[in-house]
Amino acid sequence: MKGDKVEIVIDTGGATKTYEVAATRAGRRVEVVNRRGLVEVTELTRSGSAVRTARFMASRVVALVEHPADDRHSRSVSSTAGTATSARTP
């Protein structure tokens, strides 16, 4: 969903560095996979095609923070539609 993002904090020896991968368009999502000593963060389209991928050594990852998209807008639209429908019903 547009607005999903993942922050990755990496240990660079003496300091830390922060990277961010976000779903930039509607219908895209961000997926996190941890396999074989690597952490992969990928932005995917609806069909599952990778748009961009970030790979990090798992031993260097300090923190991985997932920020889901703010869902308030879609809830207010659906609740408004439900109210209008129930108001028309006798």
- In the chain, which residue ranges form alpha helices assigned H by DSSP? 72-88
Would you tell me how many other CB atoms lie within 10 Å of the CB of residue 9?
Answer: 15
Q: Cα–Cα distance between 30 and 6 in angstroms, integer?
A: 7
* Torsion sign, CA atoms 87, 88, 89, 90: positive
Q: Contact at 8 Å (CB) between 44 and 28? A: yes
Q: Give the pLDDT means over successive 10-residue stretches in the chain (90 positions).
A: 86 92 88 93 92 93 88 50 46
- What pTM was estimated for this model as a whole? 0.70
